[in-house]
Amino acid sequence: MKLPAMIPIRQTFQTSPLLDIPKEVAAEIARIKPERIIAAGQSVAITVGSRGIANLPVIVAETIRQLRKIGAQPFIVPAMGSHGGATAEGQKKILAHYDITAKTMGVPVKSSMEVVKVAATGDGIPVYLDKNAAGADHIVVVNRVKLHTDFQGEIESGLVKMMAIGLGKQKGADRYHNAIVRLGHYRVLVSVAREILKHGKVAFGIALVENQREETEIIRAVAAADIEKTERELLIKAKQLFPTIPLNPIDLLIVDWMGKEISGTGMDQKVIGRSVIPYHNPLSQPVIMRIFVRDLTPASGGNAIAIGNADFTTRRLVDKIDYHATYMNAITSSCPEAVRIPIYFDSDRRAIEAALKTVGEVAPEEARVVHIASTLHLEKMNISEALLREAESMEGISVTGPPRPMKFDDRGNLISDLE
């Protein structure tokens, strides 16, 4: 098959990343005067999740330093629902991948899947809290505020979600996602988080916002009483900084990598504009006819949740799937559709050729094709010649090279220059 020539382009993002992360964390924590909330000698559980957050070890380490400065006794708890195969050791391994260990942080990492019931919402949903966090005198919630992959609301993914799904562990995440099927994400997450806040353990939050280049743009320490209000405000900023694929429609999207550290759904559903899960409500743009995802990141630990959003993949990705971790995530989050394995081939070339045979009455070399590294890395892309005129007319898009044929290795796998 004659494949389309590809042209490299670059999106220009206007960003203002923070240059001194420890200084910013220290200033923010000092601003809310934690010594008025936490007494010397009291224990503090610091939440750390499973996402690949920029500067996460530095932010956590400085938070620990500032808590010790007032005489507190901090420790770390993995707050990640059912991830890591829903095992205590698996969740510690995820943190270790981000260089967050007892050795690197200088404090204990207390990982357990046990929870205690602390309340119930007005809808009768039991509210669960990580046993170690519940046993601490205080909790400090650290998380990135961003668009949620599955729904749209005033609050999406951030401190509220971590208090609910993250600290609820597998038992809580399972119950909440079942409730979400009938009540919706926003209502369930906010109502559970409010009960956690009423419980009185949360001292404050550290809210983070990243820009389109995965750089830390905002660090905000937030008193417990202000978490909802502040998260709403920060989500507006996060939406302004959200990277997108500017071309629409697309016949074939080629994605080098999917993974849990990239998105909770492997490929961000608000970037690809689709979800196979009936009760999810991602953005409806861009319209993409076919998606081919080439591989699964090592950091995903074999979890290929939402592989079902792709139409084509490779045998090498399928061979990397840890079915226990993937199925546990799918069942806990009530989305079995998300783990249906698409058509897969032994080589990228065969997958691309098969995909281009299914995009309608268009010659393969004239198809509208976009190639990205991942849904988290959208500064550089390759586009087919059919999209060149549109790209050239767009503000913030520059063409960085001439058309060139897709290059494959001796196994027929695409040689990507996007990493």
Q: What percent of the chain has pLDDT over 70?
A: 100
Nearest to 286 by CA among 264, 269, 306: 269
CA distances, 273 to each of 92, 186, 248, 268, 358 (Å):
32, 20, 11, 8, 19
At residue 309, the pLDDT reads 98
Question: Which pLDDT belongs to residue 280?
Answer: 87
Is the pLDDT at 283 greater than 80, yes or no? no
Which pLDDT does position 140 carry in this prediction?
Answer: 98
Domain ranges of the chain: 6-13+243-399, 32-240
Residue appearing with tokens 């299914």: 358
SS3 (DSSP) at 164: helix
- pLDDT digit string, tens, across residues 216-236: 999 999 999 999 999 999 999
Burial class of 208 by CB neighbour count within 10 A (0 to 12, 13 to 18, 19+)? buried
The per-residue pLDDT for range 336-374, each reduced to its tens digit, is 999 999 999 999 999 999 999 999 999 999 999 999 999
Q: Give, as one character, the DSSP assignment of residue 84.
A: G
Q: Provide the pLDDT for residue 188.
A: 97
Distance from C-alpha of 306 to C-alpha of 268, rounded to nearest angstrom: 10
Nearest in space to 61 (alpha carbons), one of 22, 88, 35? 22
Would you say the C-alpha torsion 249, 252, 257, 261 has a positive or negative sign?
A: positive
Please determine, for residue 64, whether its predicted confidence score (pLDDT) is greater than 80.
yes
CATH class of 32-240: alpha beta
**Closest residue by Cα to residue 79 from 8, 139, 18, 5:** 139
142 has pLDDT over 90: yes
Q: How far apart are CA 385 and CA 90, in angstroms?
A: 45
pTM comes to 0.89
Detail the DSSP E strand segments found in 159-311: 202-210, 216-223, 250-258, 288-296
Q: How many CB atoms lie within 10 A of CB 404?
A: 12
Confidence of residue 77 (pLDDT cuts 50, 70, 90): very high
Q: Could you tell me which residues are beta bridge partners of residue 44?
A: 74, 138
**b/e for 256-292, b at 16 or more Cβ within 10 A?**
bbbbbbbbbbbbbbbbbbbbbbeebbbbeebebbbbb
Structure tokens at 152: 């749209």
Stretch 88-97: mean pLDDT, rounded?
96
pLDDT band at 282 (very low <50, low <70, confident <90, very high): confident
> What is the phi/psi pair of residue 372, to 5°?
-125, 160
Cβ neighbours, 10 Å, residue 380? 16
What are phi and psi for residue 99, nearest 5 degrees? Answer: 65, 30
Which residue spans within 55-194 are E strands per DSSP?
Answer: 73-78, 115-120, 126-130, 138-144
Q: How many CA atoms lie within 13 A of 124 on its CB side?
A: 1
